[in-house]
Amino acid sequence: MGLRPALVSILVACASLLPLAVPQIEERSWLAAIVAASLTAAILVWVGGWRRHLLLQWLRNPQAEAPDAVARAWGDVALRIERLQAQSRKDTQRERERLEDFLQAIEASPNGVLLLDAGAQIVWLNTQAADHFGLDPKRDLRQHITNLVRQPAFGRYLQIDDQDQVLSLQTHEGRSLAIQLRHYGEGARLLLSQDVSDRERTEAMRRDFVANVSHEIRTPLAALIGFVESMATLPLQEHERARVLELMRQQSNRMQSLVQDLLTLARLEGSPRPAPDQWWRLGDLLDLVRAEAESLSQGRHQFAWPSTALDVELAGVESEAHSAIANLLSNAVRYTPEQGQISLSVERLPDAGLMIRVSDSGPGIAAEHLPRLTERFYRVDGSRSRATGGTGLGLSIVKHVCQRHGGQLRIESEPGKGSVFSLVWPAVRVR
């Protein structure tokens, strides 16, 4: 391109030579001056054009070094252009890094982020979004999202303009997603997705818990109301009154046990981990639970207790350990038929921890129930549990106590062969 003005100038110069060939013109010297000036101008223009051409070549390939001709002719200009180019390269690099940082930050988000253009085609998505919608972050770019996420509810949701509306979607893997759409730019949309499966599970557990508690309280309460009405309206004889009062006492006790167990559970869940330096003697605690278990049994069972006086101290909250061991013994007494055997033994473990075992010769528990026994209100035999004053919360409390102290509850049982509940206290809390 730079050559064109130079060529034009040469043509102009040639044209101006024409008068030299015309003899009629007298002022030849005047013409010669014009010709010389035109030639000089043409050469200058041509040389300038050639240098511009070199400069343009170099600008088109800024990575290459500037040719000497360019460097000589343009001097300062070339230097400044070179600096500007270097600056622009640096700016571009910085922008690229910022974009990279930004994308990495979105990538680190626990939520899914997916960008859609005005035609609902996928422009970009992070790994979480790919995971949530079952997409491939590379292969599915530029694809229409509704071709890939085919649930009708999702298609309808994309048509809605209300940005506050949240869509709940079930994935094919059974996960629950909360999806929200935001508009930006010219028709573009940002799709945010969050896995709310855990939150929904917790919410369902909370609902179940409230329903269970209400049910457990309503049953004895309804019985109490019935008894109160009987006493108020029926002309009862003395022995009948005594019987009704005894039943009322049983129902009130049941409600009281339930409220106590609920408070114990709430306390266990809400209080900090027990201090590791509050020591108490295990022997003293076992004397206490032994008296309670024998009183509960009222001579209906045969007990076996550790023979030697225990010289062991445990660290933690003594009242919690009391509640755990008493619960295991109470279960053994309540579920083991008359004349059955119940034993408590204490064993030092190889890792210096301590195991307190409560064994009974009761009915035993089928394998399918074992993993669920520590769930709140889970009962193998509901009527037997309630008839013996059970709340369905005992083993849940025992498990919590063990976990809070860094220990564990182990359950071994087989139908017809009795049960063994072992409470493991960690070595750091035994001396």
Task: Using the minimum distance from each CB to ligand ADP, give the nearer residue, 52 or 376.
Answer: 376
- The least distance separating ligand ADP from the CB of residue 406, rounded to whole angstroms, comes to 22
Tokens of 331: 């279960």
Task: Using the minimum distance from each CB to ligand ADP, give the nearer residue, 385 or 422.
Answer: 385
Task: Using the minimum distance from each CB to ligand ADP, give the nearer residue, 220 or 394.
Answer: 394
Does 362 participate in binding ligand ADP (rule CB under 6 A)? yes
Specify the DSSP class assigned to residue 345: E
Task: Using the minimum distance from each CB to ligand ADP, give the nearer residue, 43 or 265.
Answer: 265
Q: Which of 335, 340, 356, 426 is the binder for ligand ADP (CB under 6 A)? A: 335
Does 426 participate in binding ligand ADP (rule CB under 6 A)? no
Task: Using the minimum distance from each CB to ligand ADP, give the nearer residue, 112 or 362.
Answer: 362
Does 422 participate in binding ligand ADP (rule CB under 6 A)? no
Closest CA to 2 of 59, 54, 75, 79: 54
Does 360 participate in binding ligand ADP (rule CB under 6 A)? yes
Q: Which of 391, 400, 405, 425 is the binder for ligand ADP (CB under 6 A)? A: 391
Phi, psi of 407, rounded to the nearest 5 degrees: -105, -160
Does 340 participate in binding ligand ADP (rule CB under 6 A)? no
Binding mask 368-387 for ligand ADP (x = CB under 6 A): -----x----xxxx---x--
Question: Where do we find the tokens 């004349």?
Answer: 339
Does 402 participate in binding ligand ADP (rule CB under 6 A)? no
What's the rounded Cα separation, in Å, for the pair 88 and 81? 10
Q: Kindly report the CA angle at 13 between 8 and 17, in degrees rounded to 5?
A: 145
Phi, psi of 260, rounded to the nearest 5 degrees: -65, -45
Segment contacting ligand ADP by CB under 6 A, of 71-79, 149-157, 172-180, 357-365: 357-365
| SS3 label, residue 343 | strand
Report the amino acid identity of residue 243.
Answer: R
Tokens of 339: 């004349």
- The least distance separating ligand ADP from the CB of residue 418, rounded to whole angstroms, comes to 8
Does 363 participate in binding ligand ADP (rule CB under 6 A)? yes
The number of residues that bind ligand ADP (CB under 6 A) is 21
| SS3 label, residue 289 | helix
What's the rounded Cα separation, in Å, for the pair 198 and 239? 55
Q: Kindly report the CA angle at 234 between 231 and 235, in degrees rounded to 5?
A: 100
Residues 6+ apart with CB under 8 A from 88: none
Closest CA to 132 of 88, 91, 168: 168
**Binding residues for ligand ADP, per CB under 6 A?**
331-332, 335, 360, 362-363, 365, 373, 378-381, 385, 390-396, 419
